[in-house]
Structure 1
Amino acid sequence: MHHDDDEHSHHDGGLQQDLMVDALRDPRRRLLLGSLLASGTFALIGGCGGGGDSSTSSTDSSGSTSTGSTTTGTTTGSTTATTDTSTSTTTNTNTNTNTTTSSCIADPQETEGPYPGDGSNSANGTVANVLSSTGVVRSDIRSSFGSATGTAQGVPLTLTIKVVNSNANCAALEGYAVYIWHCTRDGEYTLYASDLLKENYLRGVQVTDSAGQLTFETIVPGCYSGRWPHIHFEVYPSLAKATSYKNKILTSQMALPKDICTTVYNNATGYTASVRNLSQISIASDNVFGDNTTAQITQQTPVLDGSVAKGYTGTIVIGVPV
């Protein structure tokens, strides 16, 4: 699993520059870059419009639609070990990967990108930390809270998350806090995009119940340049700890199912740019999900059901090695 998100297509350098920089830093990525150059694939990786994620934790994000600065998070590790194979299986509905079953595994560590709003970087000259704001603990994240009044437009998505201990046969983890955030249907991030600096919707925190579960009401995110449609999340050991990125125990991302995204983008208002953007990216070419195993992608992909007219509901399990 890679640990660097792409820039927007309008950021300096673009995805190809990010891959070249990553390749020089990481022997595994040098091998990957070599194979891409040899096959001619490198020149094909690119562009989805909208707001995006950055590459390394020290790269400046200064695109015209976003004023976010560098990411300083510490999610550089990866977790691939399986711990138990006797648990119930989950079927992956992402048509971009092979359908398979998943044992109890830990979600891989992924980058938080340049727009986490967790206190690890700045936006518009000030530290962006929505976690310290009163009102961030909520299930419905479609509207801003506090003094902000905006509401995200898009196809409704109700997502139930179950957090489990991947080191203990997927036992439910009660009292753990999960912070999620993702882009708008236009591919922008609140707190960072130039037109959304005062908004904080599509960000929120919930705490797991005795079954390890929590639910968010949100929208289906759009697809932007160089990235597979995704939802960011961080896991904290308690709500009291969920006030700063320094206390997180897992940072990762969810990969949205291709069939659902295709249906939404082609039939819902406001997702026009995502149609083109999705056609130019795949799980395999995505620089976050691209080197994950099939089992990891299955773990990271929520199972969704519904329609554009009625909205979607879905579930996903997050495995944390505690």
Structure 2
Amino acid sequence: MTESQGPAHKKDMTRRRVIMAGGAVVAAAGVGAGVVATASAGEEKGAASGAKAGQGEVCYRLTSETTEGPYYIDADKIRKDITEDKEGIPLTLRLKVVDSDTCKPLRKAAVDIWHCDALGIYSGYESMSQGGPGGGAPPSGAPTDAPTDAPTGTPTGTPPSGGPGGGGGHSEPTDDERYLRGTQLTDRHGFVEFTTIFPGWYQGRAVHIHTKVHVGGTMTDAGYEGGHTCHTGQFFFAESAVLDSAKEEPYSTSTTTRTTLTEDTIYDRSGVAGGLLKLSYRKGGMVRGVTGSITMGVDPDETHDGTDL
């Protein structure tokens, strides 16, 4: 399955669960007057609640396994701050990983994230990326995770029709840049936190962040090695937050056609269970920073490396 294939092609994951813990998202105490707090913008409807998991935690069915896309690079940058010198709205990404069967935190799981910069460029693949002012297309024949029938005008809110387009298979890096990529081990409570920037967009995809969760491996001087990948997914952003980001530089300088959340062929419209982040930022002051949070339920005994869909 390529990254452009829709939710109809996804494996049935109904026997697995994910917890959306109140403590794992933006703390209620931090959401007051003058603060924008958004989780779903009406997109949570697909998360069917299950049994109580204690202390206000509710189990949800997991529907968020996705393809890894063409721009993955093995976890070799063990770090919290992945920004390097990239400009953009500061983003603090707070993630919690739990066992989808026991609802307990997973300790020492390696959480890997990667995403494009404010103008849609991926490190390691700068010559292939579709971002940047003008939305330059990749070289002929270069793999891409954008559907070929991507909207060419103002977003209409209607998902694109037609079959999958573009190659979703992995591509070898074309340069040595590694900004906006990093890996960390979860603490005993299952948490990791990354310092990065709010991603931009490129033609054919809504704003998103890729993630993988690895278990059973070890930390070495070269990075995280061994074990297996038990989850491959993507995080998404409410449309209202993306529109707020588009008012700020350098996002506002992009002329790339933007795909909305409802037009995206990867997001399955199940809200938080499908990877939609809880976001918090000062109203009218997004440029000062955004906090994004989510809990991921994974089955550490299974393998989902993004090529099994």
Distance 2:233 2:226 in 1: 13
Indicate conservation of the 8 Å contact 2:93/2:291, yes or no: yes
CA positional deviation for 1:140: 0.2
The corresponding residue for 1:294 is 270
Aligned with residue 95 of structure 1, among 41, 45, 50: 41
Q: Deviations 1:245-280 (Å, cap 9, x if unpaired)?
A: 9821111100112211110112x11113657633xx
Distance 2:192 2:116 in 1: 21
**Matching of residues 16-95 of structure 1 within 5 Å:** 77=11, 79-83=13-17, 93-95=39-41
Distance 2:18 2:122 in 1: 37
Indicate conservation of the 8 Å contact 2:238/2:261, yes or no: no
The corresponding residue for 1:57 is none
Letter matched to residue 240 of structure 1: T
More helix by share: 1
Distance 1:171 1:177 in 2: 16
Distance 2:95 2:20 in 1: 21
The corresponding residue for 1:114 is 70
Distance 1:172 1:85 in 2: 10
Distance 1:221 1:309 in 2: 13
Residues 156, 239 of structure 1: alpha-carbon distance in 2 compared, 3 angstrom cutoff:
farther
Indicate conservation of the 8 Å contact 1:96/1:282, yes or no: no
CA positional deviation for 1:78: 5.3
CA positional deviation for 1:100: 7.2
Distance 2:287 2:18 in 1: 40
The corresponding residue for 1:188 is 121
Q: Deviations 1:112-133 (Å, cap 9, x if unpaired)?
A: 1110012xxxxxxxxxxxx2x4
Letter matched to residue 219 of structure 1: I
The corresponding residue for 1:165 is 99
Q: How many residues align?
A: 227
Please say if 1:141 is aligned against 2:122.
Answer: no
Residues 245, 227 of structure 1: alpha-carbon distance in 2 compared, 3 angstrom cutoff:
farther
Q: Secondary structure at the match of 2:184?
A: strand
CA positional deviation for 1:87: 7.0
The corresponding residue for 1:237 is 215
**247-256 or 80-89, which deviates more:** 80-89
Q: Deviations 1:76-104 (Å, cap 9, x if unpaired)?
A: 75534354899769797232625676533
Indicate conservation of the 8 Å contact 1:180/1:231, yes or no: yes
Residues 155, 86 of structure 1: alpha-carbon distance in 2 compared, 3 angstrom cutoff:
closer
CA positional deviation for 1:157: 0.2
Distance 1:187 1:235 in 2: 24
Aligned with residue 215 of structure 1, among 175, 193, 197: 193
CA positional deviation for 1:164: 0.6
CA positional deviation for 1:171: 1.2
Percent identity reads 29
Distance 1:201 1:260 in 2: 23
Letter matched to residue 186 of structure 2: T
Letter matched to residue 244 of structure 2: T
Distance 1:298 1:83 in 2: 9
The corresponding residue for 2:278 is 303
Residues 224, 260 of structure 1: alpha-carbon distance in 2 compared, 3 angstrom cutoff:
same
Please say if 1:262 is aligned against 2:243.
Answer: yes
Distance 1:163 1:94 in 2: 20
Residues 176, 92 of structure 1: alpha-carbon distance in 2 compared, 3 angstrom cutoff:
same
Distance 1:321 1:250 in 2: 8
Runs of at least 5 residues in structure 1 that lack an aligned partner in the other structure: 7-18, 30-75, 119-130, 144-150
Distance 2:254 2:40 in 1: 17
Under a length normalisation based on structure 2, what TM-score does the superposition of the two structures give?
A: 0.64
What RMSD, in angstroms, separates the aligned Cα atoms of the two structures?
A: 3.3
